[in-house]
Structure 1
Amino acid sequence: MARSQLLKDAVSGKESIENILLRLKVILSDLDNENIMNWVNGELQGYKDKESVPSYRILKGRIIGTYLINFSVKYKDAPVPLEFLISKEEIDELRTVRMTDGIATIQNILRGENRENYGFVIPTAYCHAISTDDFQIAGMRVRIGSNQLDGIVSCVKSKLVEVIMELEKEFENLDELDIRSQIKENESVKQVIYNIENIIYDKSVKVGDKNKIERSRIGHLFGHLWEGRDKK
């Protein structure tokens, strides 16, 4: 069976991921599945809820900051030894970043000058709250490596190819962007939907599970963890 132009474009990289997603959105809408469409819309427009982002968008960053030790030694843009101030669980929570931006925005970040210094600011109030007389934290941020953002892009590309290949097994003429008539005649459509959900969310993740993490005092005190992206 001849491969669709959609698959060829996804593999060649000549078309943007956004373009592939938009074409695929038209096709997948005929399957009338909320989980699948939430993923497509999330990658196109960004995820509205941080708790709903897929596992491949949950990153572990490096915490760096400016702090003063014993009122004499000052460190700037240096790793912060938080293990002396808070628990390992709270450190892990601080390091955890859920990338909600659409895939095009992430690619723009990777093309920008700030790609090697991209990060999120930790609220100043929290920095002051955990400081001690001997360890004063002026500010902290979580730095995300460009390789981690590249990983998100690569993962989305891979999933797009797998989804298109799965559709090609059951439907013809994907380039027409219309499989509705074939769905009516196709008794295995439920299996196709199940397979695509597994590709998108990974077999190890239960579809619909928002992968919630129990919040510590960080979330309870400040609601939103980040004040905003680091503009440096």
Structure 2
Amino acid sequence: MSLLRDIQGSLVEGKPLGPILLKLRLLASRLGSETLEEWVKHESEGYPSDIDLPDYRKIPIAYKATFTGPFGSGMQNAPIPPYLIEKFAGASWNFSHMRQSIAGIDKLVGAEQDPGQTLHINASNLILLLQGNVYEDYACNSVTGIISVGALVEIQNVVRAKILELTIQLEKSVPDAVEIGLGISPTNQFSKDHDRVTQITHQVINGNVTSISNTGDNALFSFNNSAGDRDAFVNTLTKAGIAKSDAQELATVIASEKPDSKAEPFGPRAKGWIVKNIGKAADGTWKAGMAVATNVLTEAALRYYGLK
């Protein structure tokens, strides 16, 4: 049976995601798409700490706390507004980064998949950070973080939807993909479709693709960096083939000044850095050609400054 059709059938029938992801990884390998393979591997095995996490795996956390006050007064399970959590502890505390494998998330959800259920996480470190900052004259004795099981179910649903959309788009744009089955040995017959498969993967998984032309070939990059996110800026440049040390150096320069305009997103220091380093694209030090490197630097800077 066709691997692609088998995957689609399993999705429609509501079968577990684990085996479906294994089949999709095999299909990705036969198509020669490292980008698709990497996404499937992370969903199957979990996301390492040094890998950017997709937005759909960042779920909100609600906090409740116990407070005691003067004359024996107190409050049990008092909700703490996200604004106060961000103000005194940092924005990262308002979200849980779910790096577990899909199998791990299945385990957390449980067999019943009751969206009304909740999971508690240890938030004891917040006690000191919130002490005296929530209710005046009340001491914070305990803090509990709460995650809705419904949010975990939504991760499962998103992954299912993305796999289905991937197979539908592959069927439309790479018709030969339908012919791939378990008995077909890997060949180079699909190498010509590699760029198209990569583009589809970026569009479905990231929902944000910019196509940059370099000597007639399409080099596809996903720009996920948001305004002011230095780490994402560095990751974007590194994935495009720019040396990490250079990407980090430019990020420091970019953060130290403001852009001249949307049409010219580089300040004086950034312009000087580019003039000094762009030759690395020509001599092979960077794995990106001159035109691609220039466009990637501009696009990433625009997004860092919130101009796009």
Change (3 A) 1:114 1:23: closer
Relative to the length of structure 1, the TM-score reads 0.74
2:140 pairs with 1:148: no
Q: Distance between the aligned counterparts of 1:5 and 1:175, measured in 2?
A: 9
The aligned counterpart of 1:24 is 24
SS at match of 1:53: coil
User: Could you give the per-residue CA deviations for residues 2-25 of structure 1, whole angstroms, max 9, x where no partner exists?
Assistant: 972221112211x31101000111
Q: CA deviation at 1:180?
A: 3.8
SS at match of 2:118: coil
The aligned counterpart of 1:39 is 39
Whether contact under 8 Å (2:89, 2:129) holds in the other structure is: no
Change (3 A) 1:120 1:166: same
Q: CA deviation at 1:201?
A: 1.9
Q: Could you tell me which amino acid in structure 2 is paired with residue 199 of structure 1?
A: V
What is the RMSD of the two structures over their aligned residues, measured on CA atoms? 3.4
Farther-moved stretch of structure 1 (37-46 vs 186-195): 186-195
Whether contact under 8 Å (2:65, 2:140) holds in the other structure is: yes
In the alignment, structure 2 segments of 5+ residues that lack a partner are 211-220, 232-308
2:203 pairs with 1:195: no
The aligned counterpart of 1:159 is 162
Q: CA deviation at 1:65?
A: 2.0
The aligned counterpart of 2:109 is 110
Q: Could you tell me which amino acid in structure 2 is paired with residue 189 of structure 1?
A: H
Q: Distance between the aligned counterparts of 1:131 and 1:86, measured in 2?
A: 12
Percentage of matched positions with identical amino acids: 20
The structure with higher relative contact order (CA 8 Å, sep 6+) is: 1
Q: CA deviation at 1:179?
A: 7.5
Whether contact under 8 Å (1:51, 1:210) holds in the other structure is: no
Relative to the length of structure 2, the TM-score reads 0.58
Q: Distance between the aligned counterparts of 2:104 and 2:152, measured in 1?
A: 11
Q: Distance between the aligned counterparts of 2:128 and 2:80, measured in 1?
A: 14
Please identify the structure whose Cα radius of gyration is greater. Answer: 2
Q: CA deviation at 1:172?
A: 2.8
User: Could you give the per-residue CA deviations for residues 63-121 of structure 1, whole angstroms, max 9, x where no partner exists?
Assistant: 112222346322233313575x6654846432111111111221222226896230322
SS at match of 1:49: coil
SS at match of 2:204: helix
2:130 pairs with 1:130: yes
2:179 pairs with 1:173: yes
The aligned counterpart of 1:61 is 61
Q: CA deviation at 1:155?
A: 0.3
Q: Distance between the aligned counterparts of 1:18 and 1:82, measured in 2?
A: 34
